[in-house]
Amino acid sequence: MSGFLPISKEDMEREGISQLDFVYISGDAYVDHPSFGHAIIARVLQSHGYTVGIIAQPDWHDRESVSGLGEPRLGFLVSAGNMDSMVNHYSVSKKRRTTDAYSPGGVMGKRPDYATVVYCNLIRQSYKHKPIIIGGIEASLRRLAHYDYWSDKLKRSILLDSGADLISYGMGERSIVEIADALASGMDVRDITYIDGTVYKTRDRSIIYDAIELPSYEAIKQDKLEFAKSFYTQYCNKDPFSGKRLYETYDGKMFVVQNPPAKPLSQKEMDAVYALPYMRTYHPSYEEAGGIPAIEEVKFSLISNRGCFGGCSFCALTFHQGRIIQTRSHESILAEAGKMIWEPDFKGYIHDVGGPTANFRAPACEKQLTKGACPNKQCLFPKPCQNLKVDHTDYLKLLRKLRELPNVKKVFIRSGIRFDYLMYDSDKTFLRELCEHHVSGQLKVAPEHISDTVLQKLGKPEVAVYNSFVKAYKAMNEKLGKKQFLVPYLMSSHPGSTLKEAVELAEYLRDLGYMPEQVQDFYPTPSTISTCMYYTGVDPRNMKPVYVATNPHEKAMQRALIQYRNPKNYDLVVEALTKAGRTDLIGFDKKCLIRPRSGGGHKDGHYSGNGAPGKGRSGAGRNGNRAPDYGRDSAGKNRDKMADKGKQVKKKTIRNVHKKK
């Protein structure tokens, strides 16, 4: 089969297909590109001899909308898309977003809330017994009982609410082929209980073996501490080498069983996945509607790795892609780039070479390849592990090769750079070449906060590491004769942050002379340590109490402090400083954040501490409100850029964020 996968009966007829093996229902529009989960899974199945058709964004009000390709021979595959449907639809303040980058023309409303559950229930109306396998980020991170921020309650495993038969969690290439082979052999879907990287349900306790019993659903609903214990057990069993089978009980009758994660792909297997015959763009049927905005972020980008050993508390990569780095070979990446650079609309700029963390190109240590990641220790936090292997050599070689390709003017790095990992490298060659060749005037990094108290809860290095990076970055640019700046991503209201820590952050920004455009409130989404802290009020790693700002007004005050120069925030800043006992920061001294309303003669009395009218910029957050624990899609790209893409935002000049006033 060549070209796009079938989306209609006419397509099936042209390909000589009377009945498809699988019908894939997707909450995203059909984009045949390896940055989109539905494309990878469908192409992997195709490479193993199975036929797959795509029904993208069916009308969930019409039961016939999932029947357009007929009944599949083996089963339905269902995914909400590259984002959790609730993150896709709502900001952290639970306000409806206005655009959807994964829909034609960026139009919002093409998929339902809790899309996986809705699609499965729609299928069950017409196909009572046909196997349904769910996957993607939404199913993966809701695979066991979880806290749901939007309804503010604990929800059951998505396997139960959807009525599906199996969950293929994580990246899914291994498990989906094993599932397909089992179904093709004639095995009943209820007997497919042995595949790593899957979750199944059963009423027969006797078939569950070598497993850890989690607190029951009834127990975690009654006691938040039981939920914290359950979550941490899951967290310590997420590794494909050391992780145990887990199960939780519902009403004493139903058991949801999570098999250990699937093993990571070898480099050869990764290369094979990215060498499949993707069309590398959206289906032409969307052209009239204006195309699919999300493709613009990835069309001229290259995925070089997946997985992350960074261990940030707010990121769900640990539960989805895992901590073991998997990489593509240079040859594989260069082959993809070789196609990209001859496309008619290529302007000479490769937008990104990376993944969840761009400068991770190998496992954190040698033992991870055979024994996995340590269940109770982090590689970088709170201090780098003594076994951590810090080496940028391979990544540098790759970047140099890409820079030498014809038609290439510049190779940018837009994925996250772990500045702490960079600083632990005694060889500064990567820092030099990063500044010299791969920054487009500004480098975005994510210290997230500057209070060590909050950073400890975030799973981030202490602020001294960030400060040392700032100095090193500035010094390197000065040495190269370049004027390139840092843009720090900052987060308000993360568990552990009180008004005291929020004021500390405001003072830090005052001393930098910088007012960030991009600030985000912490967004609690399923299956992260931070979300567990938000819901339970304890750190599941040690069960100690954690302060959590849950009141919307307090969260607004914490956010306003970060952008204290914005006149719209004046009243909130005054209230926050008063409640924090820091009215010493209201006045005319250069250390003050704002002036009293009665002073200065300005109509709103809002001035910066040095006596000049408050300047700087305010913003609506990191492209709206980032979902930090869903910071990457199933192919490893940053999804925040996608959430509200489609709005034409006027570009603003970025001042030197680390220049003193």
Task: Say what the pLDDT of residue 316 is.
Answer: 86
Task: Say what the pLDDT of residue 469 is.
Answer: 97
Q: Is residue 335 part of a domain?
A: yes
Domain co-membership, 430 together with 479:
no
Domain co-membership, 369 together with 407:
yes
Task: Say what the pLDDT of residue 243 is.
Answer: 95
Domain co-membership, 547 together with 655:
yes
Q: Among 60-74, 335-349, 637-651, whose mean pLDDT is lowest?
A: 637-651
Q: Among 572-576, 586-590, 603-607, whose mean pLDDT is lowest?
A: 603-607
Q: What does the alpha-carbon distance between residue 485 and residue 28 come to, in Å, rounded to a whole number?
A: 36
Residue whose token pair is 């100690």 = 544
Domain co-membership, 65 together with 150:
yes
Q: Are 136 and 37 in contact (CB under 8 A)?
A: yes
Task: Say what the pLDDT of residue 369 is.
Answer: 84
Find the mean pLDDT for residues 393-399: 98
Task: Say what the pLDDT of residue 516 is.
Answer: 87
Q: Is residue 30 part of a domain?
A: yes
Find the mean pLDDT for residues 482-498: 95
Task: Say what the pLDDT of residue 619 is.
Answer: 31
Q: Range of 122's domain? A: 9-198
637 pLDDT exceeds 60? no
Amino acid sitting at position 63: R
Q: What is the CATH number of the domain that holds 95?
A: 3.40.50.280
pLDDT band at residue 655 using 50, 70 and 90 as cut-offs: very low
Domain co-membership, 412 together with 479:
no
Domain co-membership, 436 together with 478:
no
Q: Is residue 229 part of a domain?
A: no
* Mean pLDDT over each residue of the chain, to the nearest integer: 90
Peptide bond before 382: cis, by omega within 30 degrees of 0?
yes
Q: What does the alpha-carbon distance between residue 603 and residue 581 come to, in Å, rounded to a whole number?
A: 26
Find the mean pLDDT for residues 457-481: 96
DSSP state of 281: E
Task: Say what the pLDDT of residue 646 is.
Answer: 39
643 pLDDT exceeds 70? no
Q: Is residue 640 part of a domain?
A: yes
Q: What does the alpha-carbon distance between residue 138 and residue 155 come to, in Å, rounded to a whole number?
A: 13
Total domain count for the chain?
3
Amino acid sitting at position 347: K
**pLDDT tens string 337-379:** 999 999 999 999 999 999 999 999 999 998 998 899 998 889 9
Domain co-membership, 361 together with 499:
no
- Angle (nearest 5°) at CA 176 between 162 and 325: 105
Q: What is the CATH number of the domain that holds 429?
A: 3.30.750.210
Task: Say what the pLDDT of residue 614 is.
Answer: 35
242 pLDDT exceeds 90? yes
Show which of 166, 198, 230 is a domain's final residue. 198
Domain co-membership, 480 together with 588:
yes
Q: What does the alpha-carbon distance between residue 37 and residue 40 come to, in Å, rounded to a whole number?
A: 5
Find the mean pLDDT for residues 602-611: 38
Task: Say what the pLDDT of residue 602 is.
Answer: 37
Residue whose token pair is 């568990």 = 495
**pLDDT tens string 378-390:** 999 999 999 999 9
pLDDT band at residue 415 using 50, 70 and 90 as cut-offs: confident
3 pLDDT exceeds 80? yes
Task: Say what the pLDDT of residue 1 is.
Answer: 42
Q: Are 504 and 453 in contact (CB under 8 A)?
A: no
Show which of 198, 227, 260 is a domain's final residue. 198
CB atoms within 10 A of CB 551: 10
**pLDDT tens string 419-460:** 999 999 999 999 999 999 999 889 999 999 999 999 999 999
Q: Is residue 281 part of a domain?
A: no
Show which of 440, 461, 488 is a domain's final residue. 440
Domain co-membership, 101 together with 182:
yes
User: Can you read off the two tokens belonging to residue 278?
Assistant: 């993707």
**Residue 433 Ramachandran class (φ > 0 left, ψ -120 to 50 alpha, else beta):** alpha
pLDDT band at residue 209 using 50, 70 and 90 as cut-offs: very high
Task: Say what the pLDDT of residue 515 is.
Answer: 87
Task: Say what the pLDDT of residue 187 is.
Answer: 98
User: Can you read off the two tokens belonging to residue 449?
Assistant: 């906060």
Task: Say what the pLDDT of residue 2 is.
Answer: 57
Task: Say what the pLDDT of residue 588 is.
Answer: 94
**Residue 389 Ramachandran class (φ > 0 left, ψ -120 to 50 alpha, else beta):** beta
Q: Is residue 262 part of a domain?
A: no
Task: Say what the pLDDT of residue 421 is.
Answer: 97
Task: Say what the pLDDT of residue 110 is.
Answer: 97
Domain co-membership, 447 together with 393:
no
Query: Percent of the chain at pLDDT above 90?
Result: 86
Domain co-membership, 413 together with 475:
no
Q: What is the CATH number of the domain that holds 558?
A: 3.30.750.200
Q: Are 415 and 425 in contact (CB under 8 A)?
A: no
**pLDDT tens string 518-571:** 788 999 999 999 999 999 999 999 999 999 999 999 999 999 999 999 999 999
Q: Is residue 33 part of a domain?
A: yes
Q: Is residue 221 part of a domain?
A: no
Q: Are 449 and 491 in contact (CB under 8 A)?
A: yes
Q: What does the alpha-carbon distance between residue 246 and residue 251 come to, in Å, rounded to a whole number?
A: 17
- The values of phi and psi at residue 557, to 5°, are -65, -45
Domain co-membership, 584 together with 549:
yes
